[in-house]
Amino acid sequence: MNLNQLRVFCTVVSEGGFLQASRTLYMSQPAISQHVAALEKAIGVRLFNRKGRNVSLTPEGRTLLVLAKEVLQKADGIPERFREMKELKIGKLSVGFEAHPAMTLLPPVLRRFRAEFPDIQVTIVTDRQEELLERLSSGEIEMAVAGGNRRNLPTTGVVTRSLGLDSLILVVPADHTLEGNPPLPATSLDGKPLVRYLPSCPLCPVVEDYLLQHQVKPKSDLWVDDPAVAARFVSEGICLAILNRGTLAGKAGHLPIREIPLLGLDSLSWEISVAYSTRLGLSYAGWAFEKILESESPKILKTV
């Protein structure tokens, strides 16, 4: 059974006979009969009662007529549907962001995307990098925006592009006695209660490399996996922290903490990258979103 057979069947019904259908479809009457016969054979029922040149639908034929019209209507609507998708008049988009780029980079991108394509349904998922990559692989999201060294992202099955760099800063409680004018040497952190990051946090290797390079030996009795948590602990006077500036967006930006200039820290950055599956690719909406993402990133992040 195929769409052409269903179309011939519906035309025979609407035109009132095989001869009339052959004229409408510019086909020979035997060809019309062959299509109907093939359809009857495919579904195993008789569709027409034939009395000379007069034909009428069997009960099975009436049932098929309803179903066939529905199928043909949907099939005929496919080209228009795809035109609307291509023109972004309809569609869905699911993207994943780590919390920090979601607070800094996402708002202007989403605002512009919704202004340009108001009929696209957008779903935003915020999660850790590892979970975002799993969601990307399963097709739950089209793209993932995450922080960390892009070289540590998967190299197979995923396309990655760098969006820019997020600066690293040292933050202390608002009432802390430590001052940084001029910038302090890195060794000023020796013996200080500096929060450290677990390996599961993409910020971990960046901070650890800095401490190792400058031979800094802080008091390291507190480890976390999220810079936002570290910022909160700093605001409570529990510790000091090196984190990315993007962490201070949103609620963290209102915490009672201060930034202290630290020598060598301004040369370090946390790379923000976008990734999507090579197997699944991007939808029309996904391509449009990524284009806006790459356009807005230089306004917020440092260029690579």
Indicate the pTM of the whole model: 0.61
What phi, psi does 171 have (nearest 5°)? -120, 145
Q: Dihedral of the CA atoms 89, 95, 101, 107 (nearest 10)?
A: 30
- What is the reported pLDDT for 188? 92
- What is the reported pLDDT for 280? 86
pLDDT tens for each residue of the chain, 304 residues long: 888 898 888 898 888 888 888 888 888 988 988 999 998 889 899 888 887 777 889 889 889 989 888 888 887 767 766 665 566 777 889 999 988 888 889 999 999 999 999 989 999 999 888 899 899 989 999 999 988 766 666 667 888 888 998 888 999 999 988 887 788 999 999 999 999 999 888 788 889 999 999 999 999 899 998 888 999 999 999 999 999 888 887 555 578 999 999 998 888 878 899 999 888 888 889 999 999 999 999 988 887 6
Kindly report, residue by residue over 96-134, the tens digit of the pLDDT.
Answer: 998 888 888 999 999 999 999 998 999 999 988 889 989
User: Could you tell me if 286 and 276 are in contact, meaning their C-beta atoms sit under 8 angstroms apart?
Assistant: yes
Give the right CATH number for 92-163+271-300 from 3.30.70.100, 3.40.190.10, 3.40.50.300, 1.10.1040.10. 3.40.190.10
Give the right CATH number for 167-268 from 2.10.210.10, 3.40.190.10, 3.40.190.290, 3.40.190.80. 3.40.190.290
- What is the reported pLDDT for 152? 64
Partners of residue 147 on adjacent β-strands? 272
The domains of the chain are located at: 3-86, 92-163+271-300, 167-268
Helix or strand run (H / E) with residue 133: helix 129-138
Same fold, 92-163+271-300 and 167-268: yes
What's the rounded Cα separation, in Å, for the pair 128 and 1? 48
User: Could you tell me if 284 and 91 are in contact, meaning their C-beta atoms sit under 8 angstroms apart?
Assistant: yes
Partners of residue 96 on adjacent β-strands? 125, 144
* Nearest residue to 205 via CA among 154, 149, 249, 121: 149
Residue 24 tokens read as 């409408």
Return left, alpha or beta for 144; rule: phi > 0 is left, psi -120 to 50 is alpha, else beta. Answer: beta
Type of residue at 1: M
What phi, psi does 286 have (nearest 5°)? -65, -40
Which fold does the domain 3-86 belong to in CATH? Arc Repressor Mutant, subunit A (1.10.10)
- What is the reported pLDDT for 171? 94
Q: How many CA atoms lie within 13 A of 261 on its CB side?
A: 6
Q: How far apart are the first and last CA of the chain?
A: 57
